[in-house]
Chains A and B, each alone.
Chain A
Amino acid sequence: MKEIRIDFEKCTGCRHCETVCSLQHFEDKINPALSRIRIYVDMENDMHIPILAGPYTDAKCTSRYATVIGGKEYGKCILCRAACPERDIFFEPGTEVPLKCDLCGEPPDPACVKWCTSGALTFEEVDEEKEEETA
């Protein structure tokens, strides 16, 4: 199975992934607010972190865990992939329909990966057994 792999070290924050995602899924519209991938720009640490839209949840989150990336700690909501009632990202503005990455293309060939020139996003075969070992 292939997955979108994220190397946040390489992301330059150009947001080409956001523009092409909205074009891919909404045909004639360019709008990062419609994108199923968003770049979190952490200006304090000079990091650009791509976040892929994950599942929708209708309940408030109970997680207390922070995420640690590159030695930097991020509060529980910042890098979360869920479309949830506490935040206004990964919902279509106006209709409030939740957005989720569907690895677009037939067969899957995600548009965001194709427009990513920095190498931060790649679409790769994932060795599931190996993944489990390292996890």
Chain B
Amino acid sequence: MYGWMGKILRIDLTEHSYEIEDLDEDLAKEYMGGRGLATKILYDEIDPEIDAFDPDNKMIFATGPLTGTGAIGSSRFVVVTKSPLGNIGNGNAGGAFGPEIKFAGYDVIILEGKSPDPIYLWIEDDKIEFKPAEDLWGKTAHETEDQIKSQLAKESWKKRGVHVACIGPAGENLVKVAAIIVDKHNAAARGGIGAVMGSKNLKAIAIRGHKSIPIADPKAFKEVVSTLLDKVKDTPFTKNFFANGSSGILHIYNEVGMLATRNFQTGVFEKAEDIDAHLITEKHLVRNRACFSCPMACGGMTHVKDGPFAGRAERPDFETTWVFGADSGCNSIEAILKANNLCNDLGMDTISLGSTIAAAMEMFEKGYITEKDVGFSLKFGDAEAMVKLVEMTAYRKGFGDDVAEGGYHLTNKYGHPELFIGVKKLENPAYDPRACQGIGLNLATAARGACHNKGYTMISEILGDAVKIIPKTDPFATEGKAQLTKDLQDDSCIFDNAGICLFLLVNLWTKEILEQLEPATGAGYTMESMKLVGERTWNIERLFNQKAGLTGKDDTLPKRLLEEPMPEGPAKGRVCKLDEMLPEYYKLRGWDENGVPTEEKLNELGLD
């Protein structure tokens, strides 16, 4: 095999034993890798009905055939597991941990069972060690990485090449918004997957490899990557991401009136200028940092020199700037940086945590919870209260214990489920679908819950004229959005399965992935067969959710977005007209009117 390493590492955490298995070549081609392959393995190996924290739940860490190859943006790996929210859980991350899995000789790492005591795994090529982690338990993600590296090598030059994925206190405390932190500043974050790792008593995986990824047609591969690099390196979007990170697009979404503000009460944040990304760059950025093989380098370290939020922090991505900014009504970039750093260090998903805090703020302002419940005042825009609650959540201190259960449980506990803005118990990202119809359909139908990255329709509906990859469509129209959403969902699977970061979509698309995938693997993929891989991935996730007990009724949006008209801005008076799109979407998917995949469709995809 080329591109793939051809090996699966299967770890039994209960017995502290492991096996190295061959990756079936046909299976690899059918699902490509990453999200698709991992979901297929999980679907085949566990009962989707089990509780996420049951030792029988498994965690599948999977790379794609392009991960680590030097294909543009080829940094990604995915973690797939049964989510504590009850559906399929997956999170993917950049940095350089994914590539290191490949260099150690594996495409996939399967974690089974539950360790009797806290441990971390040390994987160096074929050498697998189960190391005690009692002294790491309770440590933050940054402390954990530093301590593991010091344990593994006394001299600092030896630490190079060791990559760590770990949980912080939040994962240990089974916080439902807990993430897996990778290389200190990247996160496989959504769906509470960090808590699953905590439930297995697994603090971290440290990995270092010396093996080679074999390439089918190296000359052609080198040529196509060189050509694409020349094409990508100076585009306006690369320049914007390099200069300001992904937060550089925040003002665009505010201008079109879809930057969800104060728990989606409106789509216009009147203080958006105060949190504009160029201010972070000018005031606090130290230096850019790229994930493996990425010319966009949207990451970077910032340093706030003084004030209540002083300290070092990763430059926040767009979602983080939004959630601790507009969604919390907060206009302090220093507070956003602080909250981001706390999330990375304590191991939490910024989107889900920030959204849950925003819901709590709305409950507080409406009098549904009081200072007696929270312990302090929790109004929108109160940066100090927000940052304080981030920390309390990781340790489940006081009101943080409620926030730790996520927005769905928090709003239900206090009797106001209508204030939970999310789908399938997962909190919404930044985009208000009242101002952009297609994304509403995507959020409603994505298997892991409200996730923009599963079908980023804004690439057509909002950015179409600027990006010129997909033709521009009218964001307020519902016609054609079912097809657009389905296409983008299937295409996003290809990014996730191949191991390419979805942020690259502002520069390249599946055609360019194929141009790199074919010389790398020689597997004979075509645009048509890749599309089928995407569709197969989407449907296997659907099947998993169905067996876990989810139905078409879960393909919906919060009432606020369906019934409360947008109060102001370019989308004033509009709601998301999901019912105009969903039946057509089901039909295009080959699903019946209840959203169940037909036998015919499953046959076509080889899923029967």
Contacts and interface: CB of A to CB of B under 8 A. Distances in A.
Given A14-B293, A14-B294, A46-B287, A117 B103 contact: no
B222 A20 contact: yes
A117 B229 contact: yes
Nearest to A34: B212
The residue among A9, A13, A40, A77 with the most chain B CB atoms within 10 A of its own CB is A13
Given A14-B294, A23-B222, A30-B69, A78 B301 contact: no
Given A31-B210, A33-B103, A114-B226, A78 B156 contact: yes
B103 A12 contact: no
B156 A33 contact: no
B233 A28 contact: no
A84 to B, nearest CB: 11
Contact of B289 (A12, A26, A31): A12
Interface string B221-265: 110011001000100000000000000000000000000000000
A9 B70 CA distance: 22
B68 A30 contact: yes
B211 A16 contact: no
Contacts of B288: 12, 118
A40 to B, nearest CB: 6
Interface in B147-164: 155-158, 160-161
A88 B162 CA distance: 13
A88 B221 CA distance: 29
B475 to A, nearest CB: 33
B538 interface: no
Contact of A32 (B103, B157, B218, B290): B103
A65 B104 CA distance: 34
B333 to A, nearest CB: 18
A117 B234 CA distance: 9
B293 A16 contact: yes
A103 B301 CA distance: 32
Contact of B213 (A13, A29, A43, A111): A29
B156 A75 contact: yes
B215 A28 contact: yes
B218 A31 contact: no
A98 to B, nearest CB: 15
Interface string A13-24: 111100110111
B212 A30 contact: yes
A5 interface: no
Contact of B103 (A31, A40, A48, A88): A31
A33 B225 contact: no
A13 B70 contact: no
Given A14-B297, A31-B211, A23 B103 contact: no
Given A13-B290, A115-B226, A31 B184 contact: no
A46 B301 contact: yes
Contact of A12 (B68, B225, B290): B290
A58 interface: no
B569 interface: no
A2 interface: no
Contacts of B213: 29-31
Contacts of A22: 212
A123 B605 CA distance: 51
Contacts of A16: 70, 229, 293, 295
Interface string B596-608: 0000000000000
Contacts of A40: 157, 160
A68 interface: no
Contacts of A115: 70, 225-226, 229
Interface string B312-327: 0000000000000000
B238 to A, nearest CB: 8
Given A28-B215, A115-B225, A41 B103 contact: no
A122 B212 CA distance: 27
B286 A46 contact: yes
B287 A14 contact: no
Contact of A89 (B68, B160, B291): B160
* Nearest 3 A/B pairs, CB to CB: A19-B70, A14-B290, A29-B212
18 contacts: A9-B287, A12-B288, A12-B290, A13-B289, A14-B291, A14-B295, A16-B295, A19-B68, A19-B70, A23-B221, A23-B222, A29-B212, A31-B103, A38-B160, A46-B301, A48-B289, A117-B229, A118-B295
Given A19-B69, A23-B221, 9 more contacts: A14-B293, A16-B295, A22-B212, A23-B215, A29-B213, A30-B68, A31-B212, A40-B157, A93-B211
